[in-house]
Each structure stands twice: as structure tokens, then as C-alpha cells.
Chain A
Amino acid sequence: MTNTETPMIPNEIVVEHPEKREPIGLFTWICVGWLAINLGVALLTPFLPIANPKEMISMPSMGMSLDHLMGTDSLGRDLFARVAWGSRISLGVGLGAMAIGFGIGGPLGMLAAFRRGKLDVALSSVMFTLLAFPSIIAIISILSMWWPRSLAKIILVVGISSVPLVYRVIRAATLSAGSKEYITAARVLGAKDRRIVFRELLPNVAPTGLSFLLFGVATVIALEGVLAFLGLSIDPNTAPSWGNLINDARQSLNDTPQNWPLIIFPSAILCLFILALNFVGDRLRSYFDVTEVKL
């Protein structure tokens, strides 16, 4: 936008600083589109004209066809339907666990960085001690003992285990924003704590939080895949996750090596989804990075 009229300004002519943000770019939009498709399918699966994922509707191990876009598995179930329903589980675990992680870790991290002092020392000692313990081992041992497994339990265990990580990231971002002069300025102007947290700190922590949220969802979805592979995710007979599908395919691949779509499709969709989350998260981070714009 250029102004045709130059305003009368004493002393100095204000030079416009157009935002030097790079446009989002086609590639990122493709990634966003892919994420949106997955999310849309996950949300709308029950309403879409998709076959029942548990019903043996056709011959086993059929190749790809118009009737069965990705073929059928060793029991004759439609693979496309299973992948679509699987996205509900995988995305549910990813988003649900991160909701718990951010719901607890986010406010605690901001609180510790804002208050500092003893509260920060106490909270950080606990969190950093938890971080030192390999969380994958904790998750595996808890889930292998906690019977019967359900989606809620997996979300809960993975979510809680992500709290220290979220705490650390949010605390660091808050500390960095909190050391800026504008926080001092706000205090001098008479802003109260609440106002400083929500008006000054939060807008500067949110971009970091958002991109970390996307990385987090990607990591948790991959982690669920690992758990499923180890047989620790939810019972594949109730509802298959992407990880369950890959694990199923691995077992049947020995008998029917010609049925490679069985392992390729769930794996590819899982990989591409995680990849897209990472790309979008990274792009968002640089897009919102004020210092990069400034330089």
C-alpha cells in the first residue's frame, strides 16, 4: 500500500517500513492443504461414504482398484477405510496428548519464568529431573502394565510425559521475552501482572508455542506409531491407528509379499503427515520471528 498523500510531519519524514516478510510460499500451502485434508477426513469419517473398516467386504489381499482405492488387507477389509479411520486415532492421540502437555506445561512454564525466584527453582528442578529420565521407557513400562489399554489412557500417559518438555520451551520463550525493556516500560507505566502476562508476554510467547505445538503433534503421532509397532497402542481390533496398520501389514507381508500397498500406504501417509507438520511448524516460526524481520 502506498500513500499518495504525504502527511505534514514536523522534523522528520516517517519512512514506511513495509513488512519484509517473505510470502508463505506454495510449498507451505501444499503442506497446509495436506494437513487440512487429513484433519477433514479424520473429523468427517463417520459421515463420508467410506466402507466399514472392520467388515470383511471383499476378497483378502486384493490389489488397488476403483472399488478399493488402496486394496484390501489379509482379511479382506478395505485399506482406505482403515487408513481413514486410523487418522482419527493417530490425530486424536497427537492433539489430545499435546492439549494435556500444553494445558499443564504452558501455564507452569510461563508462571515460573514470570515469577522467577524460588517458585522457578522449585518447578524447574522437578521438571528438569523428569526430563533427564528417558520418557519413552516410562511410557512403555506404564502402558505395558496398565491394562486394558484405551485411547484415553494412551493420551493421558503420553500427554503427561510431554509436560516437562513443553514447560522447558515455554519457560525459555517467556524468559527471553520477559527480559526485554518493554516489560520494564509496561511496569513503569503502571501495568499490573495480569496485564503484563496477557498483553506483553503472551503475544511474544505464542508464536514459539504454536510452532512447538505442531512439532509436538508430529512427534506424538510418530511415537504412537512406535507404540503400536510394539503392540502397546490400543487394540487394533477396536480401532486401528496408523501405527497399528503398519504393524498388521508387517506381520502379513511375509505371507503375501505381493500386497505391498498394505504397508506403503499407511507408512507414506504417516510420514507425509509428520513431514508436513514439521515444515509448517518451521515456516510459522520464521514467519512470526520479529527479529528476523528486523534484520
Chain B
Amino acid sequence: MSEASKNVVLSVKDLEVTFRKGRQRVSAVAGISFDLYEGETLGLVGESGCGKSTTGRALMQIVPSTGGEIYVDGAELTSLSKKEARSLRRKMQMIFQDPISSLNPRRRVKDIVAEPLDCWKTAKGEERDAIVYDLLNKVGIDPAVYGNRYARQFSGGQCQRISIARSLAMRPRLLICDEVVSALDVSIQAQILNLLEDLKKEYGLTMLFIAHDLAVVKNISDRVAVMYLGKLCEIGPSDTLYAKPAHPYTSFLLGAALEADPEIEQNRATLSGEPPSPLHPPSGCRFRTRCPFATEKCASEEPMLRDIGAGQQVACHYPLVGSHQ
């Protein structure tokens, strides 16, 4: 791994997102930091409600971040004016979870794909049409036959292909995929993942791949980050992280994932209970209420993300694997 030598496309520092409802405050994302290097895919996993989607939405400024910094190619996004931020966001695009509702049912496919070009007036007339044709061909939708159809006439997998074509129209550097396959049939999932892999190579994309399916994330990601209750538990190269999870939560999460091979011996240790309410997060380590290894120290002192070698970082006082040295 020569990550240090690579360009950092996205750098997130202490990102916080707090929602308010009356007097209550929910910190959906409670200070997370990570870097995304050029050309890599970072998987972001965690249980429902852990803040992984909110992280993606905060990066796109769909929900306002309440703290921390977001650097895109070195430019800080949150301190920019609305106009500047809008312009910088061209470098980032997002694909959403629900493929059908993320396309306007009453618009034609070719207009949907051309929408970014029309918004930014970067291409007109024949040039615009040529770009749209090219993009639709790339995602496997024949523009001559289907370009004039309405979005409502397509199935989930096809809609997701159209979404992908649309997100690539501005030639983004960074693609945020928010649970892009979880609404699709398993057979379609593989096709969409392959398509994303191919396009990533072709367009030199950097991807943040948000998902809850560990098997999907393992296949597509170079590195994986695990979130629990608004915080990062662990981040590391996917092979290392899957083989030797350092955080107890990661280990339980992997134990809960099903293997396709029944012969394989599984780590059967699974978690019971629900994550605590983010309204009242536990003191110290947020995972301590469900962690079998928790001690006094876990309640009093919050573990910080620290390096344990081989590019792996963990936020735990008692990691399952020692230092790699």
C-alpha cells in the first residue's frame, strides 16, 4: 500500500451532523475523520441508523454539517459561500438508494441524463446529445431505443443505470454511492456492481460506497470503514479488516454476515440487543453497552482512532489484534 504517496481527493475532519427537534438534539454523525485517496473505493458499513447515509448526505451538503471540515481536492467545502460550494460540488456526485424515486417519472431518459449538462450549460445541441448517447451506451441502455422513454417505464436496475449515467455527465472526481444496490434483486446487484467497477476504471473515479451488506462491500472496496452510532470504530484495508477485525464490533458484524458456503466454519458470535438511542449516547466508548470486553476505562474514557499498523486504524482500548509489528 502506497497510500501516502497518493493524492487525497476527499478529506473529512471531525465531521458532525446534529439534528434538532425542539429541545432534543440527535447527533447522527458525532465527529468522524477519514481520507479518500485518488482511485480508491472506501466502503462505509454499519447498522441502520448508525449515520452512514447521513455522512454521505452531509458530504453532498444535502443535510448541513454542524461541525468539522470537508476538503475536496484541498478546498474546504463547508466554509464556502453557497455559490462556490455549488460549483465545487460538481466534482462530487451521488447515487441514491431508491433508484425509482430518484428519477422524475415524468421526464424522458435522455433529458434526465442531460440534466447536469443543462444545469451547468456545459454542452449544448449536438455535443450535448452526443454525451448523453455515449453515457447511456456505457451503462447498457440503448439510447436510440430507450432515450425517449419516460423514467417510470423502467425497472429498478435500469433506473439505477440511468442514475449512474446521470451522475457521470459532469465527469466527477468523486462518486458517493448511498446503498445503491440494496433495493435491487441479487442478480441485478452484481450487474450494477460490475458496471460501477468498470466505469470507475474508465473514468478514474474515487468512490465512497455506503452499504450495510458486508459481502457487497468486501468485493468492491479497497478499504472499509465501520461506523457505530455516529462514530468510526475501525478503518482499514478490506482484506485485513475482514481477516483480522480489530474492533469487537467489527468482529460481531462479520459474525452476523452469512457465508454462501455451508462448509465454512463461522465465527458464530453475534450481537444481541439494539444500539442505544443516539439521543442519549453512552459515555466513553459508544459500543461499551453491548461489548463483552468493556471495562471501567471504556465508560470513562473515549477511545480515539489510532494506528495499529498495516493501514488499519481502530477506536478501541482493547483491540482484538495487537499491533501488527
Contacts and interface: CB of A to CB of B under 8 A. Distances in A.
B152 A293 contact: yes
Given A11-B140, A195-B119, A294-B152, A190 B103 contact: no
A200 B151 CA distance: 13
Contact of B90 (A11, A14, A190): A190
B289 interface: no
Interface string A145-170: 00000000000000000000000000
Nearest to B95: A185
Interface residues of A, number: 32
A59 B212 CA distance: 87
B153 A188 contact: no
A200 B166 CA distance: 15
Contact of B119 (A12, A189, A293): A189
A256 interface: no
B266 interface: no
A164 B142 CA distance: 47
B115 A12 contact: no
A290 interface: yes
Interface in A175-214: 180-182, 184-192, 195, 199-200, 203-204
Interface stretch (A2-10, A29-37, A46-54, A257-265): A2-10
A192 B116 CA distance: 11
Nearest to A288: B106
B300 interface: no
Given A189-B115, A191-B119, A182 B102 contact: yes
A22 to B, nearest CB: 15
B153 A17 contact: yes
A255 interface: no
Interface stretch (B64-72, B188-196, B270-278, B280-288): B188-196
Interface residues of B, number: 43
Given A17-B155, A181-B102, A182-B104, A191 B142 contact: no
A290 B101 CA distance: 11
A186 B161 CA distance: 17
Given A200-B104, A290-B106, A12 B140 contact: yes
A231 B136 CA distance: 65
Contacts of B228: none
A14 B146 contact: yes
B242 interface: no
Nearest to B194: A11
B82 to A, nearest CB: 11
B98 interface: yes
Nearest to A201: B104
Contacts of A200: 104, 107
A76 B199 CA distance: 83
Interface string B100-114: 111111110000000
Interface in B70-112: 86, 89-90, 93-94, 96-98, 100-107
6 closest A-B pairs by beta carbon, nearest first, are: A7-B142, A181-B102, A203-B106, A190-B119, A11-B191, A17-B153
Given A10-B140, A203-B106, 18 more contacts: A7-B145, A9-B141, A11-B140, A12-B188, A14-B140, A14-B141, A14-B142, A14-B158, A17-B155, A18-B153, A185-B163, A188-B60, A190-B116, A190-B119, A191-B115, A199-B104, A203-B107, A290-B106
25 contacts: A7-B142, A7-B144, A9-B140, A10-B140, A11-B195, A14-B141, A14-B154, A14-B158, A180-B104, A181-B96, A181-B101, A182-B101, A184-B102, A185-B163, A186-B115, A187-B62, A188-B93, A189-B115, A190-B89, A192-B119, A199-B107, A203-B107, A290-B106, A294-B100, A294-B105
